[in-house]
Amino acid sequence: MEGLITKSTGSLYLVRCNNGRVVNCTIKGSFRLKGIVATNPLAVGDRVEFEFEGEENKGIIHSLLERKNYMIRKAVNLSKQSHIIAANIDMAYLIVSMAMPRTSTGFIDRFLVTAEAYRIPVTIVFNKKDLYNEEALELQQDIMDIYRNIGYKCISISALNADDVNLIKDLMQHRINLFSGHSGVGKTTLLNAVHPDLNQKTAAISKAHSKGKHTTTFAELFEVNTDTFIVDTPGIRDFGMYDIKKEEIGHYFPEMLRVLNGCRFNNCLHENEPDCAVKKAVETGQIHLSRYKNYLSILDGEDLYK
Ligand SMILES: Nc1nc2c(ncn2[C@@H]2O[C@H](COP(=O)(O)OP(=O)(O)O)[C@@H](O)[C@H]2O)c(=O)[nH]1
Ligand SMILES: [Mg+2]
Ligand SMILES: [Zn+2]
């Protein structure tokens, strides 16, 4: 049997078959994944093969089908281990806000670097536009311009506006969608607006989380319809990058990648090296200063797992 993991809590997995049946599965003892040091071997969005065990609605997962991609971050308190947030993501919606709370470009850029590294397309959603004053609207425009110039799709919405919610709903059809972003930007509100039937469920989940002893939270895949899913990711305060080397970071800034062949040194970190094409592009405005500054802070940061 083949199915999609919709929920994982420790060693128990809910696996949804194509006919909609949901089976409680565990992992076969010898199950191991090569090359990934993760606290969780399987994540929501994974497609797996399993066998029924006994007569009840139980099964044992014996293999993982090839992943198209996965979103990963450092495991909490375990800098050498990673946590896979979700797999086989067709589109990540990075939900940001220009007011209450204001999302920094530093956070946006760290998220984008990981998404680029793991080949996950991102749409940046500016939520809560109903709350924006003139200053916030200007800020939104400036930030949108930066990311649109690079090639990221940006949309501005209010999760409280029905037309906006329908727009998001249309974009998400026939896909596995990931909702990510700081706490308080409106992920759960948007999820509930897109699929009101989920209301109770999400309320119950967030209650369980706030009571939890530790901050490790597992994402859950919500079914909007038979082939449309949303992964809501609770508890992302910061985005600890995992397994990205210094020399690679520039490759995950698409506008840097376009020019860095022009650097004199092929291991140029675009810091203080002479004849650096990236620095030249920053001077001419081809690369936005905000992006370059955030690049330098990622480069100098402790984010890196070497
Ligand atoms: N005015 C306004 N409030 C919003 C919007 N989206 C979410 N909120 C509010 O922001 C708060 C946090 O939303 P929540 O969905 O819990 O954020 P999450 O932590 O990202 O899941 C709640 O009080 C929501 O009612 C919006 O578009 N406009
Ligand atoms: Mg939430
Ligand atoms: Zn350079």
Residues 215 and 107 in one domain: yes
Residues 227 and 255 in one domain: no
The answer to whether residue 120 is domain-embedded is yes
Can you give the pLDDT at residue 56?
Answer: 82
Can you give the pLDDT at residue 52?
Answer: 94
Pocket test for ligand 1, best of 189, 195, 222, 231 (most atoms within 8 A of CB): 189
Q: Where is the domain boundary, 232, 262, 279? A: 232
Ligand nearest to the CA of 209: 2
| β-strands 153-156, 176-180 pairing | unpaired
The answer to whether residue 75 is domain-embedded is no
> Ligand 1 atom 14: the closest Cα is on which residue?
186
Residues 152 and 284 in one domain: no
Q: How many domains does the chain have?
A: 3
Omega cis (within 30) before 101: yes
Can you give the pLDDT at residue 233?
Answer: 77
Residues 157 and 272 in one domain: no
Can you give the pLDDT at residue 129?
Answer: 97
The answer to whether residue 274 is domain-embedded is yes
Cα–Cα nearest to 92, from 112, 109, 107, 117: 112
Can you give the pLDDT at residue 202?
Answer: 46
CA-CA-CA-CA torsion sign (272, 277, 280, 285): negative
Q: How far is the CA of 295 from the centre of ligand 1 (A)?
A: 29
pLDDT averaged over consecutive 10-residue blocks of the chain (306 residues)? Answer: 91 91 87 70 94 89 93 70 89 95 94 92 98 97 98 98 97 95 91 78 47 52 90 66 84 97 97 98 98 95 53
The answer to whether residue 69 is domain-embedded is no
* CB within 8 Å of 219: residues ≥ 6 apart: 43, 44, 85, 86, 231, 232, 233, 234
> Ligand 1 atom 11: the closest Cα is on which residue?
184
Question: pTM, whole model, 2 decimals?
Answer: 0.89
The answer to whether residue 258 is domain-embedded is yes
The CATH number linked to 162 is 3.40.50.300
The answer to whether residue 150 is domain-embedded is yes
**By residue range, what is the domain housing residue 57?**
2-64
